[in-house]
Amino acid sequence: MKEWMGKIRTLSLFSLMVLLLSACGKENLTTFIPKGYGAEESLNVITISTIVMTAVFIVVMVIFIYVVWKFRQKKGEENVIPKQVEGNKTLEIVWTVIPILLLIIIAVPTILVTYDLADQSEIDDSITINVTGKQFWWHFEYANEEIQTSQDLYIPVGEKIYLKMLSSDVIHSFWVPALSGKMDVNPDNENTMYIQAHEEGVYWGKCAEFCGDSHSLMDFKIIAVSKEEYAQWVEDLQNVTADVQPETTTAQEGQAIFEQSCIGCHAIDNTPSAGPNLSNFGDRTTIAGVLEHNEEELVEWIMDPNSKKPGNGMLGAPYLQNKGEITQDDAEKIAEYLMQLKPSEITPNSAQ
Amino acid sequence: MSEHDVLNPKQMPLNPEKATLEGKNKFIGFWFFLGGETVLFASLFGTYLALNNSTNGGKSSEELFTLELVFIMTMLLLTSSLTSVYAMYHMKNNAFKKMQLWLGITVALGLGFLGLEIYEFYHYIHHYEFTLRSSAFGSAFYTLVGFHGGHVVFGLSWIVALMIRNSKRGLNLYNAPKFYIASLYWHFIDVVWVFIFTVVYLMGVL
Amino acid sequence: MSTMVATNKRSFGSTLWDYLTTVDHKKIAIMYLIAGGFFFIVGGLEALAIRWQLVKPMNDFVSAGLYNELITMHGTTMIFLAAMPLIFAFMNAVVPLQIGARDVAFPFLNSLGFWLFLFGGILLNVGWITGGAADAGWTAYAPLSIISPGEGVDYYVLGLQISGAGTLIGGINFLVTIVNMRAPGMTYMRMPLFTWTAFVASALILFAFPALTVGLFLMMFDRLFGSGFFDPNMGGNAVIWQHLFWIFGHPEVYILALPAFGIFSEIISTFSKKRLFGYSAMVFATVLIGFLGFMVWAHHMFTVGMGPAANSIFAVATMAIAIPTGIKIFNWLFTLWGGNITINTAMLYSLGFIPTFTMGGMTGVMVAAASADYQYHDSYFVVAHFHYVIVGGVVFALFAATHYWWPKMFGKILNETLGKITFWLFFIGFHMTFFIQHFLGLMGMPRRYWVYLEDQNLDLGNAISTVGAFLMGLGTIVLLYNVVITSVKGEKVGPDPWDARTLEWAIPSPPPFYNFKQLPLIRGLDPLWIEKTEGRSGMTPAEPIGDIHMPNNSILPFVMSLGFFIAGFGFIYQKYDAIWLSLIFIGMGIALGAMLTRSIKDDLGYHIHKEDLEKEAKE
């Protein structure tokens, strides 16, 4: 009997937790479950201000409900004229001074955290990554390591990573809610912020500044792995070259078509490129930031990118202008080629 | 006060521009308007100061501006402000002819200023190929100085229209406020120019 | 000239002409009410389309491009073409009456302000039929707005420029009216709070709108004439637009909110049958909010990268606004305290406003905390916050004012039962729509998202939000029905149906076109209440019956605005072909010609003669 009760209790506790967690949003996306330094600090300020403000709200509501309940016109009192009060100096002072004190309680941590999050004293000894926002994808250049990658950003856990951010077209905003608050990515002045993940994991990143048709599809990921894994990943990526021959013949054919039609914008080694770098495409979490990572989606993407991400930069690609340059068959070959680009053992699966 | 008294006052008061309620309204309303204009030019100055070094590899202010020309323009406009004060002085004394004369001088000086400004722009465009589209600095320069120039054109047209309209009937309580606020506008244009001279030209060559 | 308006039925043509040429503030108020109400419905339909798109993840109700047009036009329409004109409607209808004036200071400019707003508003919406409305967000951040293809953003720029000029003119008009036209004895500290807030809001318009004017000019030059203010490739700086926009944009919030506070102050005081508690503190708080409103614009830009010092300063300055706002909330509560509270529709909105707006204020302080705002910014949390302020504050106020002043404007009381139904639908719908959005934002949903992905725990919240939006829509339909049914069947009421306190209730409903036959003598705050408590039924006149000076009607404001409207097309289409420059010359020719006509043609107005007034009194 007791055991049964206990089971029920655990079960209900568990379901309550699930409910609560789902009310908090998706783990590794929501700000309510911070997994990084910035998100944690911001959540502290959010919590302090929410508590103070809720207290104020309760005071207002108590008075409000009381006056509406107490002083509502009663039957037979339609013509009663209440006393005409001009005001009350003491009360006025009370509700001026108390809010000032409450605001100070919020303002002090606000300012401390604002300065803390803008701190750049360790930038010279830390990993620094140049982030470029483009309609509608993200590019990451590890300046010292000489690695180029797109969409998936690998970082070591527990370290401050500095991001130097610049846009190549309109304003974007770099937001990984579970790790840190956002910072705009401007076209004309570089912004610097840092992120620090406390746990390994794959974190959702979003563009938070309205940037055009596919603003809502400009997702990216941050993959936080252990320091050893990160070192391994860096080494693997540094050794990427474009002229590795794939194993299967379809993939080899795909490579040939790729080098014909795609290489103008995409890179599969550590050279800069106009379009996303694809050197570890086989290990990406998603295609184009939002699509499931499989060949079928990739083929559809190649054949009609606009249907997946309206207004994206690939629409100007020459192969889409000359109808028939790339057939369904070609696209499948390219897809097979791209899907086998797996230069490193370290993949999103390593992040746990 | 009947319509007749407004148009043909038996005696002109000391401050004819504020003798009627309409005149008072115009007087205060125009001051408010100038407050708004101040914010307008402040925004333009702010933009200019943010962009005055953004030459994008093109001509910079040091290479373009010559203070001699701008100095003459400044003198013309400052003097025209003074002459419009004389005109208002004569308005208050109900000396219509003298007022018209001084307004005429004001207009002539204003036209002189405008001519030199057009020459200045022409010079930049043809000798230096420095235009609105050259750089952000070019955009900011032509927009700020051009806005002021546009105000000069509007102010001159306004004063001339008033002079012609009232040339035959002289001063009354209906048109006195109109002359007065036109001259206020002219002073404002002058003040803005002093700032342009300092911020754009002096700071630009030093 | 005829000195009396014929009261018998007139033909449609002459009524139309009358409205096209009118300079009477009460008729202009009605035109603002109709035009603003129309745009409110347009903006509301856009909102419903947005919410329907977001009812489920990865929905395809509208395309990405159309969605962006919808969000842009929803924001722009609601702020500039619905909220502001409706505020102006009540300012026009009420302020001259509250201060005992026969008209505004510049009746001609008042009409010009309206027509500029209307033509600007139409121009803004022309984009819908020429291949796409503006799609860069109501904030139109450069460079997105600069590179936006087509003419949508051009219509945004020129439409706002024209309607903004109208607003500026309206603002100056009210400033001068309040400074110069107050009745004998109506000192500043005896002015009703709605007049005070209209006064401060007008001052904010005067000092805020020119920044928008400049911003729009720069954007127009960039888009249409090849300048490079916001183009990084020419050395330009896109952040300048954000500064100019928000130097205007933040005061704009108070331009809307302060008159809303004024409306609630009038209604709460009237229906509690009590003098406003802490009147002078309320006035002080109004002025202080207006002043601080100019110091805080950069709190919209915490993530731009201004550095910790600027962020901290603007954070603290913003929090400071909570203090005068708190003073107001408590003064309203203590006006209710000890009162004899009648709860009718207007009062329901006022009572619903207090908790709603308090929440908007709470989240306002929360988003002001810069380091917390890094999470809130550009997420649905912010969407929730500003709707709590603008809908919970301003729209509730406009609905309350509609019920409160409808009898003064039209002589009939709106149906109370229908009014209460609207309130509950709207109130519940509002909280359903927006409360959940605070959480959506913190759960990682950025604003202006056309779609959200599946499996991110955002589905339920969005579905609830959409249901709420449709409840609000339903409430609005009931309100429209109420307006129609009241116009048809409503019963006429007397001058003072609410047993109110201020001067507008001392004259007939609707008031005669000259407002006050004799200017009243004001003896204190709540002048009508003072007379009533001393047993008199109306105001004591300050002057004997005499001739009344009235302004002439004029078609010129309409013509001028039409000229600018035509020129607007010329400015836009000359980017394709220089032949369109001719439209600029035609349009500006019409506008400047009308201005010249206005300048050289004497317009002295006319007088209503004493004898006619006396004869009318006998009839």
Across A46-68, average pLDDT: 96
Q: Are C235 and C325 in contact (CB under 8 A)?
A: no
* pLDDT for res B1: 57
Alpha-carbon Rg of chain A, whole angstroms?
A: 28
Across C567-594, average pLDDT: 96
Q: How far is CA B145 from CA A302, B138, C102, C322, in A?
A: 52, 11, 42, 41
Q: Are A204 and A224 in contact (CB under 8 A)?
A: no
Q: Is the pLDDT of residue C6 over 60?
A: no
**Burial of A11 per CB tally in 10 Å (0-12, 13-18, 19+):** exposed
Confidence label for A5 from pLDDT (cuts 50, 70 and 90): low
Distance CA A34, CA A40 (A): 5
Q: Which residues, 6+ apart, have CB-to-CB distance to C129 below 8 Å?
A: none
- Interface probe for C, chosen from B30, B31, B43, B141 (most Cβ of C below 10 Å), is B43
The verdict on a CB contact (< 8 Å) between B29 and C172 is yes
Nearest residue on chain C to B133, alpha-carbon basis: C227
Half-sphere exposure of A82 (CA within 13 A, CB side): 25
Distance CA C25, CA C109 (A): 11
* pLDDT for res C3: 40
Handedness of CA C10, C12, C14, C18 (dihedral sign): positive
Long-range contacts: B11-15, Cβ < 8 Å, 24+? B12/B94, B12/B171, B12/B173, B12/B176, B13/B173, B14/B92, B15/B92
- Pairing verdict, β A137-142 and A127-134: antiparallel
Task: Count residue pairs from B and C with Cβ separation < 8 A.
Answer: 125
Q: Which residues, 6+ apart, have CB-to-CB distance to B12 below 8 Å?
A: B94, B171, B173, B176
Task: List the alpha helices (DSSP H) in B21-95.
Answer: 21-51, 61-64, 67-92
* Superfamily per CATH, domain A124-352: Cupredoxins -  blue copper proteins (2.60.40.420)
**Mean pLDDT for chain C overall:** 95
Distance CA A20, CA C443 (A): 12
Across A274-298, average pLDDT: 94
- Whether the CB of B140 is below 8 Å from some CB of chain C: the reply is yes
The predicted model scores a pTM of 0.95
Residues of A in contact with C458 (CB under 8 A): 25-26
Q: Give Cα C466 to chain centroid, integer Å.
A: 25
Across C8-32, average pLDDT: 91
Confidence label for A22 from pLDDT (cuts 50, 70 and 90): low
Across C588-604, average pLDDT: 94
Please identify among residues 210-269 of chain C the ones whose CB lies closer than 8 Å to any CB of chain A: 232, 236-239
Confidence label for A24 from pLDDT (cuts 50, 70 and 90): confident
Q: Whole domain around residue B132: which residue ranges?
A: 18-49+66-205
Question: How many Cβ atoms from other residues are within 10 Å of residue A83's Cβ?
Answer: 8
* pLDDT for res B141: 96
Distance in angstroms between the alpha carbons of the first and the last residue of chain B: 58
CATH number of C12-554+603-618: 1.20.210.10
* pLDDT tens-place string over residues A299-310: 999 999 999 999
The verdict on a CB contact (< 8 Å) between B54 and C207 is no
Q: Is the pLDDT of residue A4 over 90?
A: no
Q: Is the pLDDT of residue C1 over 60?
A: no
Residues of B in contact with C214 (CB under 8 A): 40, 43-44, 47
Across B39-61, average pLDDT: 94
Share of chain C above pLDDT 70, in %: 98
* pLDDT for res B15: 87
The verdict on a CB contact (< 8 Å) between C450 and A215 is yes
Handedness of CA A162, A168, A171, A177 (dihedral sign): negative
Q: Is the pLDDT of residue A18 over 70?
A: no
CATH number at residue B181: 1.20.120.80
Q: Which of C407, C385, C594 is nearest to C495 (CA)?
A: C407
Distance CA B54, CA B62 (A): 13
Name which of C280, C303, C312 is nearest A182 (Cβ-Cβ): C303
The verdict on a CB contact (< 8 Å) between A54 and C451 is no
Confidence label for C2 from pLDDT (cuts 50, 70 and 90): very low
> Could you give the ipTM of this predicted complex?
0.95
- Interface probe for C, chosen from A50, A51, A90, A92 (most Cβ of C below 10 Å), is A92
Nearest residue on chain C to B28, alpha-carbon basis: C176
Domains A37-75+85-117 and A124-352 are alike in CATH topology: no
- Interface probe for C, chosen from B20, B39, B157, B166 (most Cβ of C below 10 Å), is B39
- Whether the CB of B47 is below 8 Å from some CB of chain C: the reply is yes
B72 occurs within a structural domain: yes
Taking the CA of residue C402 and the nearest CA in chain A, the distance in Å comes to 23
- Whether the CB of C315 is below 8 Å from some CB of chain A: the reply is yes
Q: How far is CA C615 from CA C142, C573, C609, in A?
A: 63, 58, 10
Q: Which of C301, C457, C320, C435 is nearest to C373 (CA)?
A: C301
**Mean pLDDT for chain A overall:** 92
Q: Which of C219, C215, C207 is nearest to C244 (CA)?
A: C215
* pLDDT tens-place string over residues C292-325: 999 999 999 999 999 999 999 999 999 999 999 9
Q: Is the pLDDT of residue A324 over 90?
A: no
Q: Is the pLDDT of residue A239 over 90?
A: yes
Domain spans of chain C?
12-554+603-618
Task: List the alpha helices (DSSP H) in chain A.
Answer: 2-24, 37-70, 89-117, 227-238, 249-261, 295-303, 305-308, 318-321, 328-339
Distance in angstroms between the alpha carbons of the first and the last residue of chain C: 21
Q: Hey, which chains touch B, using 3+ CB pairs under 8 Å? A: C
Taking the CA of residue C541 and the nearest CA in chain A, the distance in Å comes to 25
Confidence label for B177 from pLDDT (cuts 50, 70 and 90): very high
The verdict on a CB contact (< 8 Å) between B32 and C244 is no
Please identify among residues 223-282 of chain A the ones whose CB lies closer than 8 Å to any CB of chain C: none
Nearest residue on chain C to A306, alpha-carbon basis: C64
Q: Which of C472, C390, C482 is nearest to C84 (CA)?
A: C390
Task: List the alpha helices (DSSP H) in C391-504.
Answer: 396-410, 416-442, 459-489
**Mean pLDDT for chain B overall:** 94
Across B116-121, average pLDDT: 96
* pLDDT for res B11: 82
* pLDDT for res B32: 97
Name which of C181, C221, C602 is nearest B174 (Cβ-Cβ): C602
Confidence label for C5 from pLDDT (cuts 50, 70 and 90): very low
The token duo for B114 is 């405008």
Total number of domains in chain B: 1
Q: State the fold for domain A37-75+85-117.
A: Helix Hairpins (1.10.287)
Confidence label for A2 from pLDDT (cuts 50, 70 and 90): low
The token duo for B197 is 């001279």
Q: Are A248 and A305 in contact (CB under 8 A)?
A: no
- Interface probe for C, chosen from B59, B139, B153, B169 (most Cβ of C below 10 Å), is B139
SS3 A313: helix
* pLDDT tens-place string over residues C149-196: 999 999 999 999 999 999 999 999 999 999 999 999 999 999 999 999
The verdict on a CB contact (< 8 Å) between B43 and C234 is no
Please identify among residues 190-209 of chain C the ones whose CB lies closer than 8 Å to any CB of chain B: 206-209
* pLDDT tens-place string over residues A200-218: 999 999 999 999 999 999 9
Share of chain C above pLDDT 90, in %: 94
Q: How far is CA A145 from CA A121, A128, A229, A270, in A?
A: 21, 9, 15, 10
Residue type for A24, please?
C
Distance CA B170, CA A122 (A): 78
Q: How far is CA A132 from CA A328, B170, C154, in A?
A: 32, 70, 29
